[in-house]
Amino acid sequence: MILKDKVCVVTGAAQGIGNAIARNMLEEGAVVYGCDLGEGSMETLVSENGRFHALYFDVTDAQAAKAAMMQVKKEQGRIDVLVNNAGVVFNKKIGMIVREETELMFRVNVIAVIEMTQLVSRIMARMGGGAIVNIASVTAVLGSAGQAAYSATKGAVIAFTKSAAKELAPQGVRVNAVAPGIIHTERFEELYEASGDKIDTRIGRIALGRLGTPDDVARACSFLASDNASYISGQILGVDGCASI
């Protein structure tokens, strides 16, 4: 129970990696506030676990985000952990991507990460500290043809993570990122198989010989969020099976 009684906020918790992070944090003893779009999309978790609370808002809506974080502070008195997981991806070549898609990726993947960090780090600083985990991507570290604009957003997440870690360290707030490789989520078939990409070729470039699971990423997030990682900040932890994509 490495997160026993910690108050954790996980964005994009309705499905995929965020859902696994929320579930893993619950298993590790945390009180978890999941954030997502779409009223009702987290009700299964609400009914399964009394320590899970659902907050429905768009992370790019600064007013709504502020109101939601104030609600957590009011109900729990503090926030110990923030996982900036909500993200959007358009797998498109440089010649095909349109501005609306690029802008949406930057709004959700970068600007919302910065603004959620601003909001929550203030609360954490007043309570004596906390831990923030941002979800980056292996694409930002290694590059990925067909994902240039998306990779740029995740590169920004990595740069932000390193600088925020330095800036917030005096207030006791640690900031790290996890950089997942190819993770077998619900959306996986849609993104890779529908693109005509040969998944066997991709698995062939993963030294550990398999795709990642949402749980692989979730366990890394819980570790970085926990006091076991109390001397770790500003790091980018690859969870990619030793990939070269």
Site for ligand NAD in 104-143 (CB under 6 A): 108, 135, 137
Instruction: Name the one range near ligand NAD by CB under 6 A: 55-63, 73-81, 201-209, 220-228.
Output: 55-63
Q: One of 33, 56, 150, 231 is an active-site residue; which one?
A: 150
Q: Which of residues 75-94 bind ligand NAD (CB under 6 A)?
A: 85-89
Nearest distance in Å: CB 107, ligand NAD: 8
Among 1, 37, 145, 207, binds ligand NAD (CB under 6 A): 37
SS (H, E, C) the chain: CCCCCCEEEEECCCCHHHHHHHHHHHHCCCEEEEEECCCCCCHHHHHHCCCEEEEECCCCCHHHHHHHHHHHHHHHCCCCEEEECCCCCCCCCCCCCCHHHHHHHHHHHHHHHHHHHHHHHHHHHHCCCEEEEEECCHHHHHCCCCCHHHHHHHHHHHHHHHHHHHHHHHHCEEEEEEEECCECCCCHHHHHHCCCCCHHHHHHCECCCCCECHHHHHHHHHHHHCHHHCCCCCCEEEECCCECC
User: Is 150 marked active-site?
Assistant: yes
Kindly state whether residue 183 participates in binding ligand NAD, applying the rule CB under 6 A. yes
Q: Map the footprint of ligand NAD across residues 186-215, applying CB under 6 A.
A: 186-187
Q: Which stretch binds ligand NAD (CB under 6 A): 52-60, 69-77, 169-177, 226-234?
A: 52-60
Mark the segment that binds ligand NAD (CB under 6 A) among 22-30, 45-53, 56-64, 119-127: 56-64
In the complex, the residues that contact ligand NAD under the rule CB under 6 A are: 11-12, 14-18, 35-37, 58-60, 85-89, 108, 135, 137, 180, 182-183, 185-187
Catalytic residues: 150
